[in-house]
Amino acid sequence: MDNFVIHGGKQLNGEIRIGGSKNAALPILAATLLTRDRCEVKNVPELRDIRSTFELLNYLGKNCFYGYGDFVAEERVPLKLHAPYDLVRKMRASMLVAGPLLARFKKARFSLPGGCSIGLRPIDIHLEAFKKLGASVTYEKGDVVLSAKKLKAARVKFRFPSVGATENLMMCASLIEGRTVLENCAREPEIADLALALKKMGARIKGEGTVRIEIFGAARLKGLKHSVMPDRIETGTFMLACAAAGGRVRLSGVVPKTVDVLTRHLRQAGIKVSAFKDAIEINSSGSKPRPVNIITRPYPGFPTDLQAPWMAFMTRARGACSVHERIFENRFIHAAEFCRMGADISVQDKTAHIRGVDALLGAPVMASDLRAGAALVIAALAAKGKTLVRRVYHIDRGYEKFEDKLRRLGADIERVKT
Ligand code: EPZ
């Protein structure tokens, strides 16, 4: 397992280009199962989670090629309809193949995705919605089996605006003739990017990005050529890295609107943020920021995926603030790691209370999920001395060439293979 060794105290300066969105690419790659035609997806980031999806699609029978950000899927053999435990356990988003397989073949079998360090990650919202479309749900040896004689367009109301469930049902409904209405949908920008891809394949979709989405499915969908939107979470992670370490950084190839809520919070904390057409510039002295509370919420609220990076930034605030995690039940593991670096954080239920300290001190710490790992790197950049971040494979799941991009901005970081 690789580690990062970081010597803090260096400011970040310069420009980097943000890559394609992991959380937009994953459902769009799954959507290639909806058609036997050739699909080309560009701006796909080189990440472990993308590799896992590549492996799963190949296992199911797709003929996939991937290199230099371009992904091609072709189909020459009948597809398998079972996503096995060994592949699904690597990545929960593997269950995004369920909707396409059910829609096209009226059957899908996949291993129950396990939980992870941030929560149990149940899939009840997905399954309840599939039943509304006419699917039966059974369980066999740890697998979920979906099947249907015929699927029917229906009205589905999610009990919670689940991102994955919204994506799974949009894909499934895209092959069901008639009008399916999804209500209380997630509004994340990745949903709109998936809808754009599905429309290119022949589905008619209205309302993506709002709480109500209408899908007029087609009897058959065609292949697509699509370029994935920029990664708003990578964008926010680098904005917070510069805010914490200090310096002046320009992030190009971004959609500033998708990080509006972070921009507002950074400005409240005293950081200068300038937004341009497809770029964002952060200007930070690296001094102690004003304390600013956050509450994580579904988009357009503060994203849960930037909660840990924000906490890293607030460890040196001029006063006390709080972080309320409203999306996942266990997403504060990183708080204890920050405390190993000298931070003053206490956690009560779903709220972390942070009292700013003068400085963090480098220490050996451990990543517990991809965003917590990135947050530990942010803390290490701003800390005094040397930090060792273990289990970097978590970071590799969601950040392409993370240490290269940081080094290009002046950070003293290197990957040590163990
Ligand atoms: C997506 O996960 C993202 N992953 C997550 O990013 C992100 O944190 C999350 O949305 C919230 O924004 C991808 O897009 C691949 P949810 P997803 O269904 O779809 C509960 C990252 O760091 N829930 O919106 O799994 C669930 O337990 C990852 O890139 C149910 O109870 O999230 C959670 O508490 C981490 N039943 C809440 O809803 C269900 O059937 C939000 O989950 C589904 C979800």
185 close to 206: Cβ distance less than 8 angstroms: no
How does pLDDT run across 76-105, given as a tens digit for each residue? Answer: 999 999 998 888 888 888 899 999 999 999
122 CA distance to ligand 1 centroid (A)? 9
Same domain, 173 and 32: yes
Domain count, the chain: 2
Q: Which of 227, 245, 268 corresponds to the end of one domain? A: 227
| Residue at which a domain ends, from 172, 200, 227 | 227
- Residue type (1 letter), 223: G
Q: Are residues 389 and 281 in the same domain?
A: yes
Q: What is the pLDDT of residue 217?
A: 95
pLDDT digits (tens, 9 = 90+) for 158-170: 999 999 999 999 9
Instruction: Find out whether the beta carbon of 163 lies less than 6 Å from any atom of ligand 1.
Output: yes
Q: Are residues 258 and 277 in the same domain?
A: yes
Is it the case that residue 32 has pLDDT exceeding 70?
Answer: yes
Is the pLDDT at 120 greater than 90? The verdict is no
- Categorize the per-residue pLDDT at 112 as very low, low, confident or very high, splitting at 50, 70 and 90: confident
Give the per-residue pLDDT at 24: 98
Q: According to the model, what pLDDT value does residue 115 have? A: 65
The pair of three-digit structure tokens given for residue 266, joined into one six-digit string:
């950074």
Q: Which of 53-67, 116-130, 140-154 has the lowest mean pLDDT?
A: 116-130
Mean pLDDT of 34-41: 98
Claim to verify: residue 214 and residue 254 sit in the same structural domain = no
The pLDDT-based confidence of 114 (bands split at 50, 70, 90) is low
Provide DSSP, 319-368: SEEEEE--S-SS--HHHHHHHHTT-EEEEETTEEEEE--S--B--EEE--
* 174, 75: one domain: yes
The CATH number covering residue 214 comes to 3.65.10.10
Q: Is 398 a pocket residue for ligand 1 (Cβ < 6 Å)?
A: yes
Which residues constitute the domain of residue 239?
Answer: 2-19+230-417
Angle formed by the axes of helices 333-340 and 307-314, nearest 10°: 30
**pLDDT, tens only, 354-368:** 999 999 999 999 999
pLDDT band with cut points at 50, 70 and 90 for residue 418: confident
Shared domain for 280 and 377, answered yes or no, is yes
7 and 61 part of one domain: no
Pairing relationship of beta strands 143-147 and 136-140 according to DSSP bridges: antiparallel
Residues 129 and 80 in one domain: yes
Ligand 1 atom 25: the closest Cα is on which residue? 164
Question: What is the model's pLDDT at position 91?
Answer: 86
Question: How far, in Å, from the CA of 346 to the mean position of ligand 1?
Answer: 25
Whether 243 and 140 share a structural domain: no
Model pLDDT, residue 88: 86
pLDDT digits (tens, 9 = 90+) for 296-320: 999 999 999 999 999 999 999 999 9
Task: Provide the residue count of the chain.
Answer: 418
Asked if the model's pLDDT at residue 147 lies above 90, the reply is: yes
Residue 379 has pLDDT above 80, yes or no: yes
Q: How far is CA 17 from the centre of its chain?
A: 18
Q: Please work out whether the CB of residue 124 comes within 6 Å of at least one atom of ligand 1.
A: yes
Task: Assess whether 36 and 159 both reside in one domain.
Answer: yes
Boundary of a domain, candidates 197, 227, 257: 227
